Amino acid sequence: MLIDVQVNYYRTNRIVSVDANTLRVEVDRLRSDPSILYYELVGTTDQGRLLIRTSVNAEEILDLYDAYMDQAEEKRKAACGGQLSFEDILGGDSSAG
């Protein structure tokens, strides 16, 4: 399912459609100082891999990831006519006992 994400290209904010199923957080080390970790939120568009946001703050990237996944869930529910799934009714994972 495609969702819209905000990306900053050369000081210009743009909205880009990304497949929500491809969103992920990647961790890398700063080349100039390998003791510093940074986090990237990436996804896939029809043109390939897209870097959405980079930060040294893991919480910031994870919060953004959660917000986009919530957006995808709302879009999915709207596409299904707002019907609740078993997971919604049970309040969690349907695989739980």
Mean pLDDT along residues 17-36: 93
Mean pLDDT along residues 7-21: 84
* Helix intervals (H) in the chain: 58-79, 86-90
Given a cut of 90, whether residue 25 has pLDDT beyond it is yes
The boundaries of the domain holding residue 51 are 2-90
97 domain-assigned: no
- For 71-93, what is each residue's pLDDT tens digit? 999 988 888 876 655 555 445 55
Number of domains in the chain: 1
Q: Give the separation between CA 80 and CA 75, rounded to whole angstroms.
A: 9
13 domain-assigned: yes
96 domain-assigned: no
State the average pLDDT for the chain.
84
